[in-house]
């Protein structure tokens, strides 16, 4: 059951039994925040700003519902990593027939490329906002910076950088919200009461359908193992599963807060002034006359952090998927992991050269994700339902009903979103 966690050589692997203390719990915070980055990536920014600008506070419930779905799915795939010592990619390569495993994992690599495309474009758009750098040049800079970060830093250091990026993004939106007047009564109602304003279904589908991303499911099952000390002790595994839930819950709530802040900002600025927003560049330009030049700079800087952070996690996920195809763990010093990272980031930049229109590039990336996502979700549920794979930690019957239900909902939304693009 135990595997060599090569990419975690820098983690203390003592025979350690966690204690239920406040400070001890904090030692488990980190993996979930890396997953949260995919929840607040540039694609989510565009959807959230459109939701707030066009419908005010009415669609805040989407953030609540999508966060609940994400918690369930990410919590489930993290269990796979803890209970088996395998990431989702390794488990698929080990427990599926080779032709099926290779087909699904190859499609997951294509999805990771699509994700990297969207994230790199987001960072490039931010560089254009801040410094006027052309999109193609900005995409190259973002990809180079991320590759240097991944190839020269340990996992432990990458995790610290991601926590810093997420913190900066959160503080940026706290600053932005301090400049506007929020109708908190309407906001609270919007968070808990579903509503479907006329013409809003496309925005609802884009937010709910895009929140669960294939690469995050692969990534979480790998990096959650950074908090494992003793896989042989069942009591330790049980405690790790509980600590993991705290990490996932806390991190997803951070994502919920940041996504909510995007909608609140758009509702308080663009919706009240009846300005429709369809692009990130447009939102940045419009913030200057409404809230001042500093607000626009803070907005673009936060977008840059989001683009870089999400590109880092996308690259890590690609390395994990590619290494898993050879039944190996993610290890940035290993050739398979390094090659997986390079394939995802370099190919994504190549697509930027072919697709000069950033919006068109984002559409291509979302189409690829919509096609692949159902395969990843149902692969995950199949594996975590198997006693052969999970042993005593397999899903309960109720968990399977919930997971397949969520998987079905997300699949339908993504198919509908895919069809709507034509």
User: Tell me: the pLDDT tens digits for 62-108?
Assistant: 999 989 989 999 999 999 998 888 999 999 999 999 999 999 999 99
Least-confidence region, from 65-69, 209-213, 304-308: 209-213
Average pLDDT, the chain: 86
Least-confidence region, from 77-91, 235-249, 378-392: 235-249
- pLDDT of res. 303: 94
Is the pLDDT assigned to residue 2 strictly greater than 60?
no
Stretch 393-407: mean pLDDT: 93
Is the pLDDT assigned to residue 243 strictly greater than 90?
no
Tokens 């919509």 correspond to what residue?
370
- pLDDT of res. 205: 78
What are the tokens at 197? Answer: 């304003």
Phi, psi of 25, rounded to the nearest 5 degrees: -60, -40
Compute the CA torsion angle 93, 98, 103, 106 (nearest 10 deg): 50
- pLDDT of res. 231: 56
Pairwise pLDDT comparison (79 vs 227), residue with the higher score: 79
Which H or E run includes 146? helix 135-152
Q: How many residues does the chain have?
A: 422
- pLDDT of res. 228: 59
- pLDDT of res. 13: 37
User: Tell me: the pLDDT tens digits for 131-169?
Assistant: 999 999 999 999 999 999 999 988 889 999 999 999 999
How far is 54 from 225, CA to CA, in rounded Å? 42
How far is 126 from 165, CA to CA, in rounded Å? 15
What are the tokens at 290? Answer: 């409404």
Look at the alpha carbons of 119, 120, 121, 126 in this order and tell me if their dihedral is positive or negative: positive
Is the pLDDT assigned to residue 6 strictly greater than 70?
no
Stretch 343-352: mean pLDDT: 94
How far is 54 from 336, CA to CA, in rounded Å? 45
Least-confidence region, from 98-112, 121-135, 261-275, 279-293: 279-293
Is the pLDDT assigned to residue 229 strictly greater than 90?
no
How far is 420 from 415, CA to CA, in rounded Å? 9
Domain annotation for the chain: domains and CATH numbers: 6-420 (1.20.1740.10)
- pLDDT of res. 238: 74
- pLDDT of res. 14: 38
- pLDDT of res. 5: 45
- pLDDT of res. 21: 52
First to last CA, the chain: 46
- pLDDT of res. 146: 97
pLDDT bucket at 422, cuts 50 / 70 / 90:
low
Stretch 326-336: mean pLDDT: 93
- pLDDT of res. 22: 53
Look at the alpha carbons of 9, 391, 324, 30 in this order and tell me if their dihedral is positive or negative: negative
Number of Cα atoms under 13 Å in the Cβ half of residue 381: 20
- pLDDT of res. 203: 82
- pLDDT of res. 12: 39
Stretch 127-132: mean pLDDT: 94
Is the pLDDT assigned to residue 259 strictly greater than 90?
yes
- pLDDT of res. 217: 94
Give the closest residue to 251 by CA, choosing from 163, 137, 366.
163
User: Tell me: the pLDDT tens digits for 7-35?
Assistant: 444 443 333 444 545 556 666 677 888 99
How far is 417 from 411, CA to CA, in rounded Å? 10
Stretch 261-290: mean pLDDT: 85
pLDDT bucket at 4, cuts 50 / 70 / 90:
very low
Question: With b meaning 16 or more CB within 10 Å and e meaning fewer, what string describes 360-374?
Answer: ebbebbbbbbbbbbb
């Amino acid at each position: 059951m135990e595997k060599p966690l090569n990419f975690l050589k820098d983690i203390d692997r003592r025979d350690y039994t966690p204690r239920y203390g406040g400070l001890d719990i904090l030692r488990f915070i980190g993996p979930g925040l890396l997953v949260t980055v995919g929840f607040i990536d540039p694609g989510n920014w565009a959807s959230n700003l459109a939701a707030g600008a066009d419908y005010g506070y009415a669609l805040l419930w989407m953030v609540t519902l999508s966060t609940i779905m994400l918690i369930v799915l990410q919590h489930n795939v993290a269990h796979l990593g803890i209970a088996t010592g395998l990431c989702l990619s390794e488990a698929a390569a080990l427990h599926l027939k080779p032709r099926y495993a290779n087909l699904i994992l190859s499609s997951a690599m294509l999805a990771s490329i699509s994700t990297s495309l969207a994230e790199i474009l987001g960072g490039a758009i931010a560089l254009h906002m801040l410094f006027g750098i052309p999109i193609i040049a900005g995409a190259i800079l973002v990809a180079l910076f991320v590759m240097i970060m991944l190839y020269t830093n340990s996992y432990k250091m990458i995790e610290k950088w991601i926590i810093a990026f997420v913190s900066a993004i959160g503080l940026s939106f706290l600053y932005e919200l301090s400049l506007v007047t929020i109708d908190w009564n309407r906001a609270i109602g919007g968070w808990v009461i579903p509503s479907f304003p006329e013409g809003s279904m496309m925005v609802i589908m884009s937010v709910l359908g895009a929140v669960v991303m294939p690469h995050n499911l692969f990534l979480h099952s790998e990096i959650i193992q950074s908090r494992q000390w003793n896989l042989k002790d069942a009591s330790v595994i049980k405690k790790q599963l509980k600590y993991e839930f705290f990490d996932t819950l806390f991190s997803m709530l951070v994502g919920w807060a940041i996504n909510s802040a995007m909608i609140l900002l758009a509702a308080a600025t663009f919706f009240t002034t009846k300005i429709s927003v369809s692009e990130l560049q447009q939102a940045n330009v419009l913030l200057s006359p409404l809230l001042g030049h500093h607000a626009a700079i803070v907005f673009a800087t936060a977008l840059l952090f989001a683009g870089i952070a999400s590109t880092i996690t996308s690259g890590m996920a690609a390395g994990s998927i590619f290494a898993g195809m050879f039944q190996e763990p993610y290890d940035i010093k290993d050739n398979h992991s390094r090659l997986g990272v390079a394939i995802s980031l370099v190919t994504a930049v190549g697509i930027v050269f072919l697709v000069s229109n950033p919006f068109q590039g984002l559409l291509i990336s979302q189409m690829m994700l919509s096609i692949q996502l159902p395969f990843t979700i149902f692969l995950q549920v199949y594996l975590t339902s198997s006693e052969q794979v999970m042993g005593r930690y397999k899903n309960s019957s109720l968990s399977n009903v919930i997971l397949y239900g969520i998987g079905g909902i997300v699949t339908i939304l993504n198919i509908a979103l895919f069809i709507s693009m034509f």
